[in-house]
Every structure is written in C-alpha cells, then in structure tokens.
Amino acid sequence: MIGVNSRAMIPADFVKITSQDNLALAYELGRGALQQFPDADGVYVGGGAWLTLPVITKLEAEFGKPVLTNQVSTAWHVLHVLHCWQPKPQYGRLMAST
C-alpha cells in the first residue's frame, strides 16, 4: 500500500521553524501517514533538513513498523559502502540491521 500525508510549506517558512516544531511536524506527518494507511509496511519521512532521529524511534515504538528518513538512510548506506558498518539499535530498525 502506498499513500501520502504531507503539508505544503515554502522554504522561507520552513527555515524559520524551531527545532522542536520541526520534530513535532515530522512526528505529526509520520504518525498521520501510519494512521491513514495502517496496512503500509512502513513509512518514509522525507526532507533533507529535518531533525528526525527522535521521531524514528518514537514512531517505530508506537506502530511497530520501520520508519526511514533521508539522513538515517544515507548514513546507513555510506557506512556500508565504506565497510565500517556496526549496527546501532538505539536509532531504529534500519540502523539496527546488519
């Protein structure tokens, strides 16, 4: 199942929001997507400038499904390419994987 839960925001407004509001928005959108699409295998929270790491663990604990973000996916991939990967379970399912 594929679905979208989004909120339009122009870059000039996005860069003005506080870190706490940034986290709240990422959580709200991720949670909304998982509620609207309960049959989804997981959720991707997009946005390269978002603070999302705390949101990943919170949503995974709440819904029991994997949560992916730009930053964490990129870090996981780069560390694998460099052959220096070590699982980090405190940062969500992807980072806990081998």
Residue 65 is assigned to a structural domain of this protein: yes
What is the rounded CA–CA span in Å between residue 49 and residue 67?
17
Q: Which domain holds residue 48?
A: 11-96
What is the rounded CA–CA span in Å between residue 34 and residue 20?
21
What pLDDT was estimated at residue 11? 82
Q: What is the amino acid identity at position 47? A: G
Residue 17 is assigned to a structural domain of this protein: yes
Tell me the average confidence (pLDDT) per consecutive run of 10 residues in the chain, 98 residues long: 82 84 91 95 84 91 95 93 95 93
Residue 4 is assigned to a structural domain of this protein: no
CATH code (residue 57): 3.40.50.12500
